[in-house]
Chains A and B, each alone.
Chain A
Amino acid sequence: MTTATRPAPPRKQGTPAQGLSGGAFAILLVLPGLALLVAVVLYPLISSLVTAFFEQSLVEPGRRFVGLENIRAVLDSDFLPLLRQTLVFTVGTTLVPFVIGFALALALNTRIRGRGFLRGAFLLPWLVPAVVTSFLWMWIFNANYGVANGVLEALGIVDEPEAWLSSPGTAMAAVIIAKTWASFPWMMVMLLAGLQTVPPELHEAAQVDGAGTIRRFRSVTVPHLRGIIGLVLLLELIWNFQHFDTIYVMTGGGPAGTTETFAVAVYDTFYKGHDLGRAGAIGLLWMVLLLVLVVGYLRVVDREEKA
């Protein structure tokens, strides 16, 4: 008698766990991350936005549904000044460090002496925590004992101390300078990385064709870096649109609200005004505007991936 050995049934391909379809298994894998996302991001976010439709105080129990009243109130009063100030801060703190970062990236992409040391040294401002940077600049610009006034007086540029952070004309500029100091290294590093991917043959070929430095920069370097420039600018715009630390520490949104952005306004309305409904309404409008930037960013990423 011979015993025929039954071949083992072929193992199903693509089914990682017994009894589960591929789709169900994928969902199972996603669930812990999704639960965390809902608990840590979505629930607090939506909970804050829901308050936009209620009259609710931080210091009193209870709340009352008021529909769109809070949003209408914000649109009728604070919205335009907040939008203008947020845009000035966002554009200023994106473009100024971009120009500085790009110039330094170009310089450090050449064979200058001490290139390695300089690359490290220029990164230092970026490594300092934002709050520390903000305090540092607040002291520099302090009207009564700040270094800026000390230097300018010693050089005879000003006769009396300037109130940099207490004058509407200079407070926003001071804040932008502080944020620029903290931001330019990151932009410099990203652009430097991009510059190093530009094939030297392209420059050589253009040089042979008689292109000068500026022409090569315009026709070779910039087109090659278009993707990275777009990403860097969009990411900075998004971050600066949400930025809080520098303004809050240096001016608290003052003087008289002239440096107040959406981020600071939400904080002030919530904590100082104790008006949760209005804070939620400002947050809701702020998020809608932010979504426009995020959609722009996703499109750029998508285009880059396809390219």
Chain B
Amino acid sequence: MTTAYSRRRMLQFLGAAGLGAAGLAACAPAPKETEPLAADDPKANEKTFSFASWTLNEEAGKPVVQGLLDTITTKDGLTVNPVSYPYNEYLNQLTLQVRGDKLVGAAQLDIAWLGALAALGKLRDLGDAAKDGGYTSTALESGQYEGKQLGLPWTTGAIGLVTNKELLSRAGITEFPETIEDFEAALVELKGLGGGVVPYAASTKVAQLKDILFWMKTFGCTLLDGDRVTIGDDASVEAVTWYKKLYDQKLIAPDVDRFDARALFGQGRAAIYDDAIVGKGAVIKDSPDKQLADKLDPVARPVLKSGDDPQAQLWGHVIVVVEGEAANTATSFARWLTSDQAATDEFFAKLALPPTTEKGLASDAVANDPFTKAFSERITKTASQNPFWRFPEYAQMETVIAEQVQAVLIGSSSPADAMTTAGEQVQALVK
């Protein structure tokens, strides 16, 4: 006897399975906050854990961080499983891992992302671990969220302008301009060099268009006043109008994000670009110009009126620990990585990333490094936090603003309309 199954019967069968799946999906629990394990719970002291880091995905930084992991593995008998994603994808992937309780251990985090990850309610308060770590107060603040020390600071600095002294000098610029007006004139001089030189490799791709926020601040926009978003005011519109003018005059170039800017700068095809201190290593490593390191010069961002404070965005990495299994071990690891003198010395020697401890900053290598010194004095000194970082929806806000600025650059929206829209959309995300 054979049994024939019609397509209709098969579809009924699949429909029943689908209904079952729908029921399960509708009843699936939403993620909850993680309760901390008791300090003496053996699970919290497990010797195996993961360490997520975007630096492990970058050619220049990978061997250095892997070397540090190898050191702690040998020293303390730990097993550290490295997890890595490219920087631009990192927050998304890490959020999914932490949200789904798939990451056991510690993670490197950009200080801008602390609010977003903290909102998941799964990060450990590292206040006790930070107490006698010898960190500077500025560095410690970069790892705090709503009164809790959720991250131990690994490196702290700022994002500012980096120039190629040789190109500036060839264009007859002996002193870096202080005001926006003079800066624009200097860019025109640099354009005159020809040979495809991009005067200022400013970000024009959505991924890093957040850099424009500090030009908005330069023009006088506060970005946020209490919980009221001020993007859309005259200052922000002026800033974007000016940026569009640079774009139209080809003083800044299309298709540029941080990585493109580094590539252009490294090839000697860009005279000025925005970067954190970490960019130095990447730019030098990939450059055909072996003398490029000597030509790098960090400068203060030009101001609207002489005497204004130059604007720069605080920048840094912290190490966070996910509550739960191996959390005690991961906390000790985070503390060692960020405050052990030998570990921070090696990190600075190989990647030029300044340490976050008083002792580390006072070491000869750091205190006497001309690039680090100049970067600290001209850029980090006046750097401030991005006011949107405190919102879990920061990444969303940044994307909204970047897309509106891009719409202005390509001419599909006016600066006034785009900034009004950006302001309204960001305001809707403020909760």
Q: Which residues of A contact B (CB under 8 A)?
A: 13-15, 21-23, 26, 30, 34, 37-38, 42-43, 45-47, 49-50, 56-63, 142-145, 160-161, 163, 165-168, 252, 254-258, 268, 271-275
Chain A, residue nearest B391 (CB) = A59
Tell me if B395 and A34 are in contact (CB < 8 A): no
Tell me if A58 and B207 are in contact (CB < 8 A): no
Chain B, residue nearest A169 (CB) = B410
Tell me if A13 and B1 are in contact (CB < 8 A): yes
Least CB distance from A182 to B in Å reads 21
Chain B, residue nearest A15 (CB) = B1
Within 8 A of A (CB), among B211-247: none
Within 8 A of A (CB), among B171-199: 196, 198
Give the docked Cα–Cα distance between A268 and B395 (Å): 11
For residue B33, CB closer than 8 A to chain A, the reply is yes
Question: Can you list, as one digit per residue, whether each of B1-43 has a CB less than 8 Å from chain A (1) or not (0)?
Answer: 1110100000001100110111011101011110000000000
Tell me if B18 and A42 are in contact (CB < 8 A): yes
Tell me if B120 and A165 are in contact (CB < 8 A): no
Tell me if A59 and B255 are in contact (CB < 8 A): no
Question: Can you list, as one digit per residue, whether each of B102-123 has a CB less than 8 Å from chain A (1) or not (0)?
Answer: 0000000000000011011100
Query: Chain A contacts of B255 at CB under 8 A?
Result: 142-144, 163, 165-166
Best-surrounded residue of B21, B32, B116, B207 (most CB of chain A within 10 A)? B21
Least CB distance from A60 to B in Å reads 5
* Chain A contact surface mostly: loop
Least CB distance from B150 to A in Å reads 14
Chain B, residue nearest A271 (CB) = B92
Give the docked Cα–Cα distance between A59 and B122 (Å): 11
Least CB distance from A153 to B in Å reads 10
Least CB distance from B198 to A in Å reads 7
Query: Chain B contacts of A37 at CB under 8 A?
Result: 17
Chain B, residue nearest A167 (CB) = B410
Known: A58-B99, A160-B250, A168-B410. A144 touches B120 (CB 8 A): no
Give the docked Cα–Cα distance between A198 and B395 (Å): 58
Tell me if B1 and A50 are in contact (CB < 8 A): no
Known: A14-B1, A46-B22, A165-B255. A255 touches B406 (CB 8 A): yes
Tell me if B1 and A272 are in contact (CB < 8 A): no
Give the docked Cα–Cα distance between A205 and B233 (Å): 78
One of A13, A23, A38, A254 near B17 (C-beta < 8 A): A38
Give the docked Cα–Cα distance between A115 and B413 (Å): 52
A45-B21, A252-B206 given. 19 additional CB < 8 A pairs?
A: A14-B1, A21-B3, A38-B17, A46-B21, A46-B25, A47-B24, A47-B25, A58-B99, A59-B116, A59-B117, A60-B392, A144-B198, A163-B255, A252-B207, A255-B409, A268-B399, A272-B395, A274-B396, A275-B396
Known: A23-B3, A61-B120, A256-B406. A56 touches B30 (CB 8 A): yes
One of A256, A271, A274 near B412 (C-beta < 8 A): A256
What are 18 contact pairs spanning A and B, CB under 8 A? A30-B13, A45-B21, A47-B21, A58-B95, A60-B119, A61-B119, A62-B30, A142-B255, A144-B256, A166-B204, A166-B205, A252-B205, A254-B406, A256-B412, A258-B412, A272-B399, A274-B95, A274-B395
Query: Chain A contacts of B254 at CB under 8 A?
Result: 143-144, 163, 165-167
For residue B374, CB closer than 8 A to chain A, the reply is no
Tell me if B263 and A145 are in contact (CB < 8 A): yes
For residue B407, CB closer than 8 A to chain A, the reply is yes
Give the docked Cα–Cα distance between A167 and B411 (Å): 9
Tell me if B399 and A273 are in contact (CB < 8 A): yes
Rank and list the top 8 A-B pairs by shortest CB-CB distance, nearest first. Answer: A163-B254, A47-B25, A166-B254, A14-B1, A256-B407, A143-B255, A271-B92, A22-B3
Query: Chain B contacts of A256 at CB under 8 A?
Result: 403, 406-407, 410, 412-413
For residue B335, CB closer than 8 A to chain A, the reply is no
Least CB distance from A50 to B in Å reads 5
One of A14, A43, A143 near B253 (C-beta < 8 A): A143
Tell me if B25 and A59 are in contact (CB < 8 A): no
Chain B, residue nearest A34 (CB) = B17
Query: Chain A contacts of B396 at CB under 8 A?
Result: 272-275
Tell me if A59 and B119 are in contact (CB < 8 A): yes
Least CB distance from A166 to B in Å reads 4
Least CB distance from B391 to A in Å reads 10
Query: Chain A contacts of B346 at CB under 8 A?
Result: none
Tell me if A59 and B95 are in contact (CB < 8 A): yes
For residue B393, CB closer than 8 A to chain A, the reply is yes
Tell me if A59 and B410 are in contact (CB < 8 A): no
Query: Chain B contacts of A161 at CB under 8 A?
Result: 196
Chain A, residue nearest B255 (CB) = A143
Least CB distance from B17 to A in Å reads 5
Least CB distance from B224 to A in Å reads 19
Known: A61-B120, A143-B255. A38 touches B95 (CB 8 A): no
Give the docked Cα–Cα distance between A252 and B257 (Å): 13
